[in-house]
Amino acid sequence: DVKVTQSSRYLVKRTGEKVFLECVQDMDHENMFWYRQDPGLGLRLIYFSYDVKMKEKGDIPEGYSVSREKKERFSLILESASTNQTSMYLCATQTQSSYEQYFGPGTRLTVT
């Protein structure tokens, strides 16, 4: 079974703090994704990576950056957290030969 883990289930940060969300997968998948999920908006793609040190912007990259130094780990960084970044953040992985994505349990981030 594919296992995707996220560093925290719940996180509370203050406005202006730098926030790191980590995602680790154990299945050697090439592609990894970060989404945010908000009520009524579904899942929106922030960034994705198709290889180590490779990244592409998704639909809503503003205010975020990512890092992928190792194949199994994909980090989402909020350089200066703001209240409008309060959301559920979901990480997903995908092989390049398949199109289905496997999701982690999510991190619910609250920025106060």
Partner 1 sequence: AQSVTQPDIHITVSEGASLELRCNYSYGATPYLFWYVQSPGQGLQLLLKYFSGDTLVQGIKGFEAEFKRSQSSFNLRKPSVHWSDAAEYFCAVGSLNTDKLIFGTGTRLQVFP
Q: Which residues bind partner 1 (CB under 8 A)?
A: 4, 9, 31, 33, 35, 40-43, 45, 48, 50, 58, 90, 92, 94, 96, 99-106, 108
CB 82 within 8 A of CB 19: no
User: With respect to partner 1, which residue has the nearer C-beta, 35 or 64?
Assistant: 35
Q: How buried is 101 (Cβ within 10 angstroms: 0-12 exposed, 13-18 middle, 19+ buried)?
A: buried
What gap in Å lies between CA 74 and CA 24, rounded to an integer? 7
The distance of closest approach from Cβ of residue 82 to partner 1 in the complex, given in angstroms and rounded to an integer, is 23
The distance of closest approach from Cβ of residue 54 to partner 1 in the complex, given in angstroms and rounded to an integer, is 12
The distance of closest approach from Cβ of residue 99 to partner 1 in the complex, given in angstroms and rounded to an integer, is 5
Backbone dihedral angles phi then psi of residue 23, each to the nearest 5 degrees: -130, 130
User: With respect to partner 1, which residue has the nearer C-beta, 96 or 112?
Assistant: 96
